[in-house]
């Protein structure tokens, strides 16, 4: 997820340092003068997710900047950077409302890792807010819509395992709904009254992932200014969901295995073991057994996690579900967005059934939300759907022309393009090639956006905008080996 960040820092060298550290962190960075008036003016003009402010800006202002930020309609979270590593100052700033105080004297890696952790927590909060807005914040297994016999059998198994405390491994392609299923299983089980904490194992640097999972004591590492409970302790009595478990480093897999076997954690910098009562649900889009054979995943952990293994079929393998799913999300978005859209016409629905849905249910949700927003009647029509769905296919056949081009195939243009005015046909060709180009460059760079932008000869911000347009996520390319 792309975050919007505003910098109000001094000196200029610090701003440049932060830009370098954050160039690959999915962040759109803007800067303003390091003073109260331009900072508050910029925040009033355009909202953002996070602000990094020099402590000197706060100290030299007659205004209470942190209090002023809190009065904004959408207040961002505030990180303060300070040249002084002073415990009293840090406590005062945290009490005043900033979420993190960062000493500029730490090494680049420490600073970059700390900011990445803060950004990931912000992304998690935004993701949960979006899920709640879409009516998916607390899903139940009964919410899963399916006319597919295979999916109905899958849901029946999920109902049977929900009351258990056994570890659970959910597998499936990106976008099939692994976290949503994990939340529903948690909600139906005996731990529903406890916390559910989702952890993306591929989103945090290795050093910070260990601290976030298992916690740390004060002074355990540079920047550990106070003791902190990890996610296992915070999930006591509930469920920890470990997404992208295949990305977890081997030495942390050993510690995770200890938690599963002994129900206790050891914080970094501590010799004491703390008992934890959690259910672990893990998920991956990788072939973990292949990872085991390649030596990248522990065999004992694989079998310990996979006491129960649920594999969610991709949407293209259960096309009979698409009409009911699409209508269900029309109803959800009609309520949450406040639009008078109640149905999908026959032609638009056929286009959706024919489409191959490489992004699975997540892509379907995005398409329906867009259609509900754009629709100017009570029924979604074909022209309310994006061109990626309505162009580039043979009638009645699943298609993904951009993916075919990206693999060097598909040199024939779809016949439907020749029925369009030349200007629209040209736009379709350009859009299809551009998506194929982005897929390929992201494959080659394994989702590293800064490197991909450099290869493409464009700014990272432009690449992010194009990725959003074509519903491409860097996470989908991290395990790609082409």
**Domain edges within the chain:** 3-128, 159-313, 401-482
Residue 407's pLDDT is: 44
- Please report the pLDDT score of residue 349 as a whole number: 94
Name the pLDDT band for 398 (thresholds 50, 70, 90).
very low
Angle in degrees, CA 154, 323, 127, rounded to 5 = 70
- Specify the higher pLDDT residue, 321 or 334: 321
R_g of the chain computed on alpha carbons = 24
Q: What is the mean pLDDT of residues 457-469?
A: 79
The second-level CATH assignment, the architecture, of 401-482 is Orthogonal Bundle (1.10)
| 145-165 mean pLDDT | 88
pLDDT of res. 239: 94
Half-sphere exposure of 413 (CA within 13 A, CB side): 14
Q: Are 379 and 341 in contact (CB under 8 A)?
A: yes
pLDDT score of 279 = 95
pTM of the model: 0.59
What integer is the mean pLDDT of 127-148? 67
CATH superfamily membership of 3-128 = Response regulator (3.40.50.2300)
| 409, pLDDT greater than 60 | no
Predicted confidence (pLDDT) at residue 405 exceeds the cutoff of 50: no
Work out the average pLDDT over 425-446.
Answer: 82
Nearest partner of 259 among 286, 297, 233, judged by Cα: 233
pLDDT at residue 25, rounded to an integer: 62
Average pLDDT over residues 237-253: 93
Is 387 in contact with 431 (CB distance < 8 Å)? yes
Question: What pLDDT shows up at residue 411?
Answer: 39
Q: What is the mean pLDDT of the chain?
A: 83
Predicted pLDDT at 296: 92
CATH fold, domain 159-313, is: Rossmann fold (3.40.50)
Q: What integer pLDDT is reported at residue 424 of this predicted model?
A: 65
pLDDT at 482 over 50: no
Share of residues in the chain with pLDDT > 90 (%): 31
pLDDT confidence of residue 476: 79
**185-194, 199-208, 408-417: the lowest-pLDDT one:** 408-417
Tokens representing residue 90 in the block: 């840090």
Q: Does 410 score more than 70 pLDDT?
A: no
Which pLDDT belongs to residue 415? 56
Task: Give the pLDDT band of residue 300 (cuts 50, 70, 90).
Answer: very high
Same fold, 159-313 and 401-482: no
Identify each DSSP E strand in 148-226 by its residue range.
Answer: 168-171, 196-200
Residue 400 in this model has a pLDDT that exceeds 70: no
Helix (H/G/I), strand (E/B), else coil: 440: helix
């Amino acid at each position: 997820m792309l975050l919007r960040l505003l910098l109000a820092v001094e000196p200029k060298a610090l701003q440049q340092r932060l830009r370098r550290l954050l160039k690959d962190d999915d962040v759109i960075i803007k800067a303003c003068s390091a003073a109260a008036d331009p900072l508050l003016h910029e925040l009033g003009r355009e909202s953002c997710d996070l602000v990094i402010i020099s402590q000197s800006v706060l100290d030299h202002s007659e205004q209470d900047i942190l209090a002023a930020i809190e009065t904004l309609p959408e207040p961002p979270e505030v990180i303060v950077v300070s040249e002084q590593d002073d415990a009293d100052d840090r406590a005062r700033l945290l009490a005043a409302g900033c979420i993190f105080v960062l000493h500029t004297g730490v090494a680049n890696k420490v600073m970059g890792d700390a900011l990445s952790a803060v950004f990931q927590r912000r992304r998690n909060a935004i993701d949960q807010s979006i899920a709640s807005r879409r009516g998916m914040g607390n899903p139940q297994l009964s919410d899963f819509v399916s006319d597919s016999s295979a999916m109905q059998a899958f849901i029946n198994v999920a109902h049977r395992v929900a009351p258990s405390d056994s570890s659970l491994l959910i597998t499936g392609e990106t976008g099939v709904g692994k976290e949503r299923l994990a939340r529903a299983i948690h909600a139906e089980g005996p731990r529903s009254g406890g916390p559910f904490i989702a952890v993306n194992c591929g989103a945090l640097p290795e050093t910070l992932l260990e601290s976030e999972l298992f916690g740390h004591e004060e002074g355990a590492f540079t920047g550990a200014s106070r003791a902190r409970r990890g996610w296992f302790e915070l999930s006591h009595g509930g469920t920890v969901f470990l997404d992208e478990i295949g990305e977890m480093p081997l030495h942390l897999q050993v510690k995770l295995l200890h938690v599963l076997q002994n129900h206790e954690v050891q914080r970094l910098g501590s010799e004491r073991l703390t008992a934890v009562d959690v259910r672990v649900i893990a998920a991956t889009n990788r072939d973990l057994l292949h990872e085991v054979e390649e030596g990248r995943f522990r065999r004992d952990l694989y079998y310990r996690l996979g006491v129960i293994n649920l594999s969610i079929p991709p949407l293209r393998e259960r096309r009979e579900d698409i009409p009911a799913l699409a209508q269900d999300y029309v109803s959800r978005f009609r309520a949450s967005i406040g639009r008078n859209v109640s149905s999908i016409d026959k032609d638009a629905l056929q286009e959706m059934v024919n489409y191959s849905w490489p992004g699975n249910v997540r892509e379907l949700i995005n398409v329906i939300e867009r259609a509900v927003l754009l629709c100017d009647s009570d029924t979604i029509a074909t022209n309310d759907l994006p061109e990626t769905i309505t162009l580039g296919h043979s009638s009645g056949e699943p298609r993904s022309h951009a993916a075919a081009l990206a693999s060097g195939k598909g040199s024939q243009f779809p016949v439907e393009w020749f029925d369009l005015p030349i200007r629209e046909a040209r736009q379709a060709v350009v859009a299809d090639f551009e998506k194929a180009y982005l897929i390929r460059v992201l494959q080659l760079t394994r989702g590293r956006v800064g490197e991909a932008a450099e290869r493409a000869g464009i700014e990272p911000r432009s690449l992010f905008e194009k990725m959003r347009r074509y519903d491409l996520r860097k996470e989908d390319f991290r395990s790609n080996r082409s």
